[in-house]
Amino acid sequence: MLPPVVKNLLIINALFFVATRAFESFWGIDLSKLLGLYYYESEMFHPHQIFTYMFMHGNFSHLFFNMFALWMFGAVIENCWGGKRFLFYYLVTGIGAGLVQEVVYGIRIHQIMAQLSPEMIYMVKNNIWEILPQYGSYTKQLINLHSLINMGTVGASGSVFGLLLAFGILFPNSLIYIYFLFPMKAKWLVIGYGVLELWLGIANRSGDNVAHFAHLGGMLFGIILILLWRRKKEKDYYYEY
């Protein structure tokens, strides 16, 4: 039987997915642009997106695999921690992942802007397609800048990677079957995923539509939170003694 927080998170994510398709089909409203996370200097950015983006998904397979991981790891962790601590962890790692993604966007955007004139930057933010013929030698930089400013981030992957990290810490020697065939201890899977995401994030600087640094951000905020909890537990233990 599913614990309540995981069950409700699964339902909420599914409802957001259905609502996204319904709003687009019946009213022509793209909820992804309203609730997905955009760069903070973009005209499409709104503060609430740092929270809502983690309930949005690009397609069914994106939703399915994130929810499968939430069910697989989340149920065990919630039963171990309890609902309140689990929900707090899930939301903090998701928001943390979004903040890391914003920082990475900012670094990449300002690196590109350093190569362009103020006039070119202004024109990119308004209509890139009209200026491409005029600035042919800067075409790649202009397209990358336009994409980064107007690219939204959606999905629960940051929280899911946070859960993967927590599972690896809580149950390091538990076997996880990759593609249901190849067994691997949880601690090695966590390390492997972390290294892979770091490499992919650095290697694919032009973007491959996967927020690799957001995944790492979820793991980063997860390990910080777990270490803080452990430190508090040790202090409480010594105080009681």
Q: Give the tens place of pLDDT for each residue, 77-129.
A: 999 999 999 999 999 999 999 999 999 989 988 888 888 778 777 777 766 55
| pLDDT computed for residue 235 by the predictor | 64
The model's pLDDT over 151-160, given as tens digits with 9 standing for 90+, comes to 899 999 999 9
The CATH number of residue 75's host domain is: 1.20.1540.10
| pLDDT computed for residue 206 by the predictor | 44
Show pLDDT as tens, one digit a residue, over the chain (241 residues).
799 999 999 999 999 999 999 999 999 999 999 999 999 988 899 999 999 999 999 999 999 999 999 999 999 999 999 999 999 999 999 999 999 999 998 998 888 888 877 877 777 776 655 555 565 566 777 778 888 888 899 999 999 999 999 999 999 998 887 766 778 898 888 988 888 888 887 776 445 567 888 999 999 999 999 999 998 876 665 455 4
> How is residue 181 written in tokens?
């065939």
Three-class SS of residue 95?
Answer: helix
Q: Where are the alpha helices (DSSP H) in the chain?
A: 4-27, 31-35, 49-52, 60-69, 75-81, 83-113, 118-127, 139-150, 157-170, 186-203, 212-240
Residue type (1 letter), 110: H
Domain count, the chain: 1
- Give the other-Cβ count within 10 Å of 60's Cβ: 10
Note whether 208 and 190 are within 8 A (CB).
Answer: no
| pLDDT computed for residue 7 by the predictor | 97
Range of the domain at 185: 4-240
